[in-house]
Structure 1
Amino acid sequence: MKKLLSLFLIGLLALSVVASGCISGGEETSTNTKGKIAIVYDVGGRGDLSFNDMAYLGASKAAKDFNLQLVELQSNTEDDYTKNLETLAQQGDYLVIIAVGFMMTDAVKKVAAEYPNQKFAIIDGFDPDMPKNVMMILFKENEGSALAGALAALIAANSGKDKVGIVLGMEIPVLYKFEGGYRFGVKWAEDYYKQKTGKDVSIDVLYQYTGTFNDPAKGYQAAKAQLDQGAWVIYQVAGGTGVGVFNAVDEYLSSHKQKMGPPFAIGVDSAQDWIKPGAIIASMMKRVDVGVYTAVKDAVEGNFEGGVLELGLKEGGVGLSTVDDVMAMFNSLPEDTQKQKLKELGFNSKDELKQYLENTRKQVPDWIWTAVDDLKGKIINGEINVPKAFNKDEITAIRNAKTWQEMMKLGE
């Protein structure tokens, strides 16, 4: 039943957002526009409730704001990456072609070299030898994840618990940044808690890479195992797989006759709190929409430059969701979908949903939210530098570090 619900949720969002135009699985819409942009999704694609859907939101907003036609292509397998990019590039009439996901790095590098006059942007992809017509949009996931780790650890410590969890998708470099940042935040929180209460705490981080971004059942199994081991907050970094994490936490609460946590889940990429109100305390928003929108805006205005564009806390590229963020995400759904979702969740209005989300956050003491804001400010002003892990050796070093100060030195 849980798996069916997960698939329903994914399908619901996939149906709720309507493309401006699409090919390969849909009909291209002819409109009186000033130009065209294209977006190529990774395997899994739209409907993941996070990464790919955020990319769509950014592209669709840019298409509306600049009167552009948006064309979408879905990659069904990794073999489709190059084919999809070439299909678009050879047409020669796109202001920019956007590839969504680290896995398309090699394909973008190859096709961009073959079509030097076509502008490309890739989300999360980096190669030092990337052609000059490619904008590589990266995010400081380590910074946003540090806030998630601090929040998780302080909630656990406040409840007398000593474990938090993180469930991830494929074991790739970008996810090491999430994991490393989360661990940093946990260690920082241990230090903060001791200073505030005078009590020593040691919070263990349980982690599992599921190997997939579109299998809610695997996310559920991983989260249930962590809950069984005592994890009090679980951060999901697994795209559509993460819906299973939400299901596991929600099931735990139901079995203990609780409507709200703790324990809690933490969402990722988009403001996912609305998916399971009461079970999700916040989401680490990775503003893929901001990155996509920026690439289109620069192309439209003639300011497009190849190279790296990196967005962190300071640039608004990452951060913990607010209730207003969640409602903005919910309001982006078509009106009939909003009504359907409210009915499913048992709310009579959006105001009721908003109040419920606010009440969920009140389950966490104000001093914890203040502590997380304190960490955010210190990261933004440069007082604290959250390390980045790009490979197995670097994430192993972070896992083995005993303090956040030791971790910070690893990033110097």
Structure 2
Amino acid sequence: MLAGVAHAADPLTVGVLIPGSKSDKGWMESGYDGLAAAQKAYGDKIKVQMIENINYADMEQALVNLASKNQLVIGVGGQTQAAVTKVAKRFPKTKFSIVGGNKGDTVPNVAGYDVKQAEIAFVAGATAAMLSKTGVVSYVGGMEIPSIVNAGKEFGKGAAYVNPKIKYVENYTGDFDNVAKSKEATLAAIAQGADIHYHILNLGLRGMEQAAKEKNTRIIGSYTDRCGTDPLYPAYSITGVGYQVEYAIKEAQSGNWKAGYKPFGLAMGPKASDMVICGATPDMKAKIDAIKKDIESGKIKVLEG
């Protein structure tokens, strides 16, 4: 070995659990995009192991696999929280970050990043009311867990905030990935007059898309701004799932990672949370900006989630 040759520090080893599909056009894909961005930014300074498409029953074992081999483990989705909390206690030297984590059990090596979906769902509801021609809007959620239900409630409240006469149709499929159930729920809402739809689904979004295309209605997309790529989507809510994956890796890589609950949402800026109406009129943009400001100030109060 030559004297004076500096050796690069060992890379940060990162394990990422993406319970759904990394190409779902939603939460999971946004998380994967954040991981890809971190890999591009850090190159050989990080080494990544990823597991995707894991059933709820197999989540714990997948996390044990990741925790035994990595310094940082990221669970992409609130549905990973119970398993992460359990596994983290067995691996006290491993850091765990939950993207979509709430104020759950406090574990000294777990960070929960709250995307505050209910907050941006209120803004999405306001947007839906502005875009609707029929005066009826709808929401389809996957699992009926508090964060998903709270987002649905706030979507309805946001729509009523803009149009007190709006009709709001709300459905849950019990499964983020079931295409047939999501299509059925969306068709049921369309039968009641809904022409703008919002969702918290993963692969189940495919069913909503099928229904909307068949019946000529439209969808407010989630997680990533893809304006101009598909006329089915007149607007997008930005929920920074990928941003939080990047954040967890950046903090661990720089030695600044901290355990505990951390809220993101509108207060963390447009990469964390935002609403984009494709081709918005100045009036629409002004209304949305005012609503976001009132949520941040607490003038408009929204549920957790």
Whether these two folds match at TM > 0.5 is yes
Q: Which runs of 4+ in 1 moved over 6 A?
A: none
Indicate conservation of the 8 Å contact 1:38/1:72, yes or no: yes
Q: Structure 2 counterpart of 1:371, which letter?
A: K
The answer for the alignment partner of 1:251 in structure 2 is 214
**Partners in 2 of 1:284 and 1:169 — Cα distance?**
17
User: What SS does the aligned partner of 2:147 have?
Assistant: helix
**Partners in 2 of 1:221 and 1:272 — Cα distance?**
25
**Partners in 1 of 2:157 and 2:277 — Cα distance?**
22
Instruction: State whether structure 2 residue 292 is matched by structure 1 residue 376.
Output: yes
| Structure 2 unpaired stretches of 5+ | 1-8
Shift of 1:34: 2.4
**Partners in 1 of 2:225 and 2:161 — Cα distance?**
24
User: What SS does the aligned partner of 1:177 have?
Assistant: helix
Instruction: State whether structure 2 residue 101 is matched by structure 1 residue 100.
Output: no
Instruction: State whether structure 2 residue 123 is matched by structure 1 residue 170.
Output: no
Instruction: Give the alignment partner of residue 224 of structure 1, picking from 167, 182, 187.
Output: 187
The answer for the alignment partner of 1:290 in structure 2 is 243
The answer for the alignment partner of 2:225 in structure 1 is 271
**Partners in 2 of 1:389 and 1:180 — Cα distance?**
11
Instruction: Give the alignment partner of residue 16 of structure 2, picking from 39, 43, 64.
Output: 39
Instruction: Give the alignment partner of residue 114 of structure 1, picking from 73, 90, 101.
Output: 90
Instruction: Give the alignment partner of residue 123 of structure 2, picking from 147, 153, 156.
Output: 147
How many matched pairs? 293
| Structure 1 unpaired stretches of 5+ | 1-31, 191-200, 254-262, 324-360, 391-412
Instruction: Kindly indicate which of the two structures has a greater share of residues assigned to strand.
Output: 2
Instruction: State whether structure 2 residue 274 is matched by structure 1 residue 319.
Output: yes
Q: Which has the larger radius of gyration?
A: 1
**Partners in 2 of 1:165 and 1:106 — Cα distance?**
30
Structure ranking higher on relative contact order (CA contacts 8 Å, 6+ apart):
2
Shift of 1:229: 1.1
Shift of 1:171: 0.7
Instruction: Give the alignment partner of residue 126 of structure 1, picking from 102, 120, 141.
Output: 102
Shift of 1:309: 1.4
Closer/same/farther in 2, CA of residues 221 and 129 from structure 1, 3 Å limit: closer
Normalized against structure 1, the TM-score is what? 0.66
User: What SS does the aligned partner of 1:125 have?
Assistant: coil
**Partners in 1 of 2:196 and 2:146 — Cα distance?**
24
User: What SS does the aligned partner of 1:370 have?
Assistant: helix
Identity %: 25
**Partners in 1 of 2:68 and 2:196 — Cα distance?**
48
Instruction: Kindly indicate which of the two structures has a greater share of residues assigned to helix.
Output: 1
Normalized against structure 2, the TM-score is what? 0.88
The answer for the alignment partner of 1:52 in structure 2 is 28
**Partners in 1 of 2:146 and 2:267 — Cα distance?**
22
User: What SS does the aligned partner of 1:66 have?
Assistant: helix
Indicate conservation of the 8 Å contact 1:180/1:387, yes or no: no
**Partners in 1 of 2:138 and 2:203 — Cα distance?**
18
The C-alpha deviation readout for 1:272-317, integer Å capped at 9, x for no partner, is: 5566x22211121211011111111111111111001111112132
